[in-house]
Amino acid sequence: MNDRRSLLPLALLFGAGAVAQDAMPAKIDARSELAKASARAKVHNKRVLVVLDTDGRRLADRLQHTGSVARPLLYEFETVAVAKDEAAAIAVHMHLPADRAGLAVLAADGGLRAWLAAETFAVGDRIDGKRLLQMLEPHFCAPVDAEQKLADALRAAKKSGRNVFVRFDAPW
């Protein structure tokens, strides 16, 4: 009896590991990631930044590790890095050059706002953070007036007899 009880945790541990491995997706679909990012952008008053890279994830990694750019990108954009094998298909779908690395700025509804070719802000393996921010800043979303939004929600809630849920949300 004692022997069976001691084997039960091991069986559960190995069984759970097998289930967890089967639940992991083999490949991430770029189109579904773009749809998810657009949905998050609508909720959080952001834009979508699509990183199209012709040589793997090098551009996305450089953006993430450039200190002057990383924080504004986190606050203002939902970023989607498209893998090398899907970049050409996504670029053609958005009517962008398929053979050039760069950034596509999308509105939350999916409309293209800007195309920034990588050679305009990257020199070799270095990103000119100041120049990139100057190019991206006109595409930042206008801030939402929180007091007005809360007043509108309270008015609508009073009419319908419902409550208002206030969610304080920040990217940090």
pTM over 0.85: no
30-139 has CATH 3.40.50.300 classification: no
State the average pLDDT for the chain: 80
Percent of the chain with pLDDT over 70: 80
Query: For residues 88 and 122, what is the distance between their CA atoms, to the nearest angstrom?
Result: 20
Query: For residues 120 and 133, what is the distance between their CA atoms, to the nearest angstrom?
Result: 12
Which sequence spans correspond to the domains of the chain?
A: 30-139
Could you read off the pLDDT of 94-132 as tens digits, one per residue? 888 878 888 999 988 888 999 999 889 988 778 899 999
Could you read off the pLDDT of 51-61 as tens digits, one per residue? 988 765 688 88
Confidence band, pLDDT 50/70/90 cuts, at residue 25: very low
